[in-house]
Amino acid sequence: MKKNFKFALLACAALTAGFTSCSNDNDEPVVNPDGEKGHITFTVKTSDLSTRAVTTTQDASESTLNTIDVFVFRANGNIEKNVTFNVGAGKDVEPTGAPNEYELTGSPIEVIVEANKSVLLVGNLTTSLRSAITGAASAAFTQAYNETLASLTASGNFVMVSGKLTETVTNSNTNLAPRHINAGNPVALERLAAKLAVVYDGSLSASVSVAGGSIALSTLEYAVDNGNTVFNLTKPTVSPFSSATLTSFNVVEADPNGPANHPFYLMENIADGVAVNATMARVRCKFTPTVVLDGTGSTGTLQTSGTFATLAMSDGTVAYFEDIAAANAYIGAPTGIAPAPSAIPVEYLNGLCDYGITLEKTTNQFDVVRNTYYVITITGFGGIGLPTDPIVPITPTSKGYIKFDLVVKDWDPVTGGQSLS
């Protein structure tokens, strides 16, 4: 709608009395064209932006509201209407003067008087998702949606959703005294994605000693191992893990909001306690052995690339060799501690190794939850990682009005320390 929304609505009402909405509302099914209507209005409130530590983590690109879509459903589950409002100074939904708070400056939204209506609010709604919600009608709150992560997390245009609101509108809810939905409280919007950063403890030395070698913090990087794309609008979605190709890694820093540590956004994924379905942070680093052996068991030379091979020994230790060939030669003619029975050499190409850290907000549930910021702090290393290779109703006879407030929630932080092994 335009800035002169109120006047356009009044003009439209005068010219088209008896119709459900003005022409600048989205197309909607007319469920009861003979029933008298009411209206709803709202106020939007976003959280304060802050650059303090991890507990205050959103920035403008993640919290900007450009549009608000209001979906109203009849008590029988049929969709009554969908109205889209622009957000910002001089637009449909304008600042109130209170910090990060906006209100609909035009007339309240017209709705049918009825008990147990359902209302859903969505910020920055995509065209494809609007079509899916409208088409789903009564199933809109329960069906699974599939939208790309990129479309849900576009900079300055994050898709956000409220919970399902159940409201009763009566004829006392007039245009001048509309119903303020959610008991008059702001309606919180949650981003339909999660966020991840991996950092290291600032007390760690630049080169961390590990059994058999060392790891330079400067080589630490991380990625996300999960390919889930399915979500539900109003409740966490239980989705099995789907392995994804790791196409990029981000640098691990001491500061999760550091310039090089651009956090990853994740699709919600609730593994429901099934560890194999968990989403993981995959941490990668370069391991440098203290000593590498040649095929005779003597001190050898580490390759310039950093590539080496490991071999499990019969005394429970791990020996490091120049390469696979040297390890196999030693198996054939050990000169010291014998290899463990059936031991097979393992190559670490370029010295790289991976550690997997499952993400969870509830212990042992392995849940990646929308609007949650997961920050994993590496506190140490217990050993070398894995090779990087594989990886009710009222008769609608009179008018009623409702309104609402909104708040965009800050990222809900989940932090935890990990000693990698």
Fold observed for domain 5-193+394-414:
Immunoglobulin-like (2.60.40)
- Collapsing DSSP states into helix, strand and coil, what is residue 332? helix
Pairing type for strands 372-381 and 193-200 reads parallel
Is the Cβ–Cβ distance between 165 and 120 less than 8 Å? yes
Q: What angle do CA 176, 182, 187 make, to 5 degrees?
A: 105
Of 318, 329, 333, 322, the C-alpha closest to 295 is: 329
Give dist(CA 69, CA 88) in Å, integer: 14
d(CA 157, CA 66): 7
Q: Are 86 and 65 in contact (CB under 8 A)?
A: no
Q: Concatenated DSSP letters for 244-281?
A: ------EE-BSSTTSSS--PEEEE-EE-TT-GGG--EE
pTM over 0.85: no
Rounded CA-CA distance 359/362 in Å is 9
Per residue of the chain (421 residues), what is the pLDDT tens digit? 333 333 233 233 333 333 333 333 443 333 334 345 555 545 544 443 222 234 446 678 888 889 999 999 999 999 999 999 999 888 888 877 776 677 777 778 889 999 999 999 999 999 999 999 999 988 898 888 888 888 999 999 999 998 899 999 988 888 888 888 888 888 888 888 888 888 888 888 999 999 899 999 999 999 887 656 778 888 766 665 555 556 688 999 888 777 777 788 888 887 777 777 778 888 889 999 999 999 999 999 999 999 999 999 999 999 999 999 999 999 999 999 999 999 999 999 999 998 888 888 777 777 888 888 888 888 888 888 888 865 533 334 445 544 344 445 567 777 777 777 6
**Do the beta carbons of residue 199 and residue 127 sit within 8 Å?**
no
Please state whether beta strands 213-216 and 101-104 pair in parallel, antiparallel, or not at all (unpaired): unpaired
CATH 2.60.40.2580 maps onto the chain at 5-193+394-414
